[in-house]
């Protein structure tokens, strides 16, 4: 009888160790929250710190006990885009710019989120961008080109069975002219609760949530009042995600992205870099405070790359930049088209710069603006070019540290840089993050801590 008991215990032990669904991690964390500030370099953090708290103040992120620096180059470029940068953080391997969730030779590879999923942990992705955009997609989909088909990425996310998906991107989930079906209905059939406003999100009770709060990316924090935005904040989406994933679960993995730090940086919009980074910082604070009540949690804060060489230059006029109350994207929307439909009226250009950026343009400035927008060939985000032209002029006027527009124009990533990014960690396993590492080391360390094999 005793022998039989020993034999049975041995069998049970063997089962626990070999079955992927039940394998207990070797004392790894129960929950991992990976927060990614898209385009958030040390310059963006410094701008947010100075604007919000002054010279002697501190961001919350700075209080995390473990820090490291990471290189971000991609397989085919010294400077990464968000696709290769996100993929490195997701699959632990370098890939080429524009590739998502695949290796440099185009082979699909499981992401750290997939590994959690395979081991029956809950998973979630949250972003202020479209949920199908590069960073969230790197964790939940595999495509050879990020611009290929957002609807196909949304479909893959359904197949991946991510428990919580929140952000923008509603326009990619509907039926379309290419004959794709309405994905919202398919998500509902698969047991997801679909929510589209802040109120609906607050009342959501399901274990599986699809929250899409805008057609593409969510609004910039700075424009939200002006646009009467009904969207939840990044912190509100994160709070609901943690609440949902931690309910009756063995643990979870969540990727939370502050996506618009990158968008603000591309436009050299120092005011929005401040606002977006502070929103991200608040979200980090929320997660760490939750982790303090759930000590078996690991929080890692990273970035996919730096954007526009943002820096805290000495002559920068912080006071003036803080007085700007809308983004260059909003300003662009206020320009009046010429009667011909090409270009904008001189009068509206003068008015917009005066009203929102408190700048007086000369006739020469206006003529130059007109010719610059006419000759712009922005291949990366053609729809953003007017906003970038406005933002760049404001940054220059107030002497903020940002790449010159001519350098940005030559860049295939729209102004990303290869500056090292900072990594911060708190909680169980946080001491693994130190020194100078590679971006691919981050998911490798997470997998190692959990006892998962890539």
Measured from the CB atom, the residue of 82 and 193 that comes closer to Zn ion is: 82
Among 59, 97, 85, smallest CA distance to 306 is for 85
Backbone angles phi, psi at 254, to 5 degrees: -130, 135
Measured from the CB atom, the residue of 223 and 262 that comes closer to Zn ion is: 262
Measured from the CB atom, the residue of 94 and 122 that comes closer to Zn ion is: 94
Contact indicator for 436, 420 with CB cutoff of 8 Å: yes
Contact letters for Zn ion, residues 236-275 (x by CB under 5 A): --------------------------x-------------
194 beta partners: 210
Measured from the CB atom, the residue of 132 and 160 that comes closer to Zn ion is: 132
Measured from the CB atom, the residue of 262 and 389 that comes closer to Zn ion is: 262
Q: Is 82 tagged catalytic?
A: yes
Q: What's the rounded Cα separation, in Å, for the pair 366 and 134?
A: 35
Measured from the CB atom, the residue of 135 and 297 that comes closer to Zn ion is: 135
Reduced to 3 states (helix: H, G, I; strand: E, B; else coil), residue 44 is helix
| In the complex, least distance from residue 82 CB atom to Zn ion, rounded to whole angstroms | 5
| In the complex, least distance from residue 146 CB atom to Zn ion, rounded to whole angstroms | 11
Contact indicator for 132, 154 with CB cutoff of 8 Å: yes
Catalytic residue among 74, 82, 111, 311: 82
State how far the alpha carbon of 198 is from the alpha carbons of 37, 203, 236, in Å. 22, 9, 8
Q: What's the rounded Cα separation, in Å, for the pair 166 and 234?
A: 9
Q: Alpha helices of 376-440 — where are they, by DSSP H? A: 385-397, 405-410
Q: Is residue 279 within the footprint of Zn ion (CB under 5 A)?
A: no
How many residues touch Zn ion (CB under 5 A)?
A: 1
| In the complex, least distance from residue 266 CB atom to Zn ion, rounded to whole angstroms | 6
Contact letters for Zn ion, residues 135-154 (x by CB under 5 A): --------------------
Contact indicator for 91, 439 with CB cutoff of 8 Å: no
425 beta partners: 66, 300
| In the complex, least distance from residue 294 CB atom to Zn ion, rounded to whole angstroms | 33
Reduced to 3 states (helix: H, G, I; strand: E, B; else coil), residue 279 is helix
| In the complex, least distance from residue 375 CB atom to Zn ion, rounded to whole angstroms | 22
Q: Alpha helices of 267-362 — where are they, by DSSP H? A: 270-293, 318-322, 328-333, 346-357
| In the complex, least distance from residue 328 CB atom to Zn ion, rounded to whole angstroms | 15
Contact letters for Zn ion, residues 289-308 (x by CB under 5 A): --------------------
Q: What's the rounded Cα separation, in Å, for the pair 62 and 54?
A: 14
Contact letters for Zn ion, residues 413-442 (x by CB under 5 A): ------------------------------
Q: Alpha helices of 247-303 — where are they, by DSSP H? A: 260-266, 270-293
Contact indicator for 130, 236 with CB cutoff of 8 Å: no
Task: Centre a 10 Å sphere on the Cβ of residue 223 and count the other Cβ atoms it contains.
Answer: 18
Q: What's the rounded Cα separation, in Å, for the pair 158 and 165?
A: 10
Measured from the CB atom, the residue of 85 and 429 that comes closer to Zn ion is: 85
Residue with the CB atom nearest Zn ion in the bound state = 262
| In the complex, least distance from residue 44 CB atom to Zn ion, rounded to whole angstroms | 12
Catalytic positions, written as ranges: 82
For Zn ion, the binding residues (CB under 5 A) are 262
């Amino acid at each position: 009888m005793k022998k039989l008991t020993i034999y049975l215990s041995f069998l049970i032990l063997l089962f626990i160790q070999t079955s992927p669904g039940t394998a207990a991690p070797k004392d790894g964390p129960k929950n991992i929250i990976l927060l990614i500030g898209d385009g958030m370099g040390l310059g963006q953090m410094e701008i947010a710190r100075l604007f919000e708290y002054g010279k002697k103040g501190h961001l919350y992120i700075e209080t995390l006990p473990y820090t490291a620096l990471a290189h971000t180059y991609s397989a085919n470029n010294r400077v990464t885009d968000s696709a290769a940068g996100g993929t490195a953080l997701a699959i632990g391997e370098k890939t080429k710019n524009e590739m998502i969730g695949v290796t440099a030779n185009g082979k699909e590879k499981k992401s750290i989120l997939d590994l959690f999923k395979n081991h029956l942990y809950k998973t979630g992705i949250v972003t202020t961008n479209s949920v199908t955009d590069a960073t969230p997609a790197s964790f939940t989909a595999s495509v050879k080109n990020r611009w290929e088909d957002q609807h196909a990425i949304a479909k893959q996310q359904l197949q991946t069975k991510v428990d919580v998906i929140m952000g923008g991107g509603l326009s990619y989930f509907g039926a379309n002219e290419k004959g794709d079906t309405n994905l919202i209905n398919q998500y509902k059939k698969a047991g997801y609760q679909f929510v589209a406003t802040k109120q609906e999100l607050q009342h959501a009770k399901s274990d599986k949530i699809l929250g899409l709060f805008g057609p593409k990316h969510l609004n910039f924090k700075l424009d939200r009042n002006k646009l009467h935005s009904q969207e939840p904040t990044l912190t509100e989406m994160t709070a609901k995600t943690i609440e949902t994933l931690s309910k009756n679960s063995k643990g979870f993995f969540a990727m939370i992205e502050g996506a618009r730090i990158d968008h603000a940086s591309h436009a050299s919009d120092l005011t929005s870099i401040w606002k977006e980074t502070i929103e991200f910082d608040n979200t980090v604070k929320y997660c760490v405070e939750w982790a303090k009540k759930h000590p078996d949690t690991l929080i890692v804060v990273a970035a996919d790359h730096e954007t526009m060489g943002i820096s805290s230059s000495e002559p920068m006029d912080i006071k003036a930049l803080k007085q700007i109350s809308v983004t260059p994207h909003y300003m662009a929307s206020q320009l009046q088209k010429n009667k011909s439909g090409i270009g904008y009226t001189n009068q509206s250009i003068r008015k917009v710069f005066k009203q929102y950026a408190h700048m007086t343009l000369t006739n020469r400035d206006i003529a130059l603006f007109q010719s610059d927008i006419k000759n712009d060939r922005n291949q990366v985000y053609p729809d953003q070019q007017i906003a970038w032209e406005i933002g760049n002029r404001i940054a220059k006027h107030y002497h903020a540290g940002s790449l010159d527009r001519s350098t940005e124009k030559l860049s295939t990533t729209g102004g990303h840089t290869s500056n090292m990014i900072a990594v911060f960690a708190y909680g169980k396993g946080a001491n693994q993050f130190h020194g100078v590492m590679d971006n691919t080391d981050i998911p490798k360390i997470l997998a190692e801590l959990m006892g998962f094999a890539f």
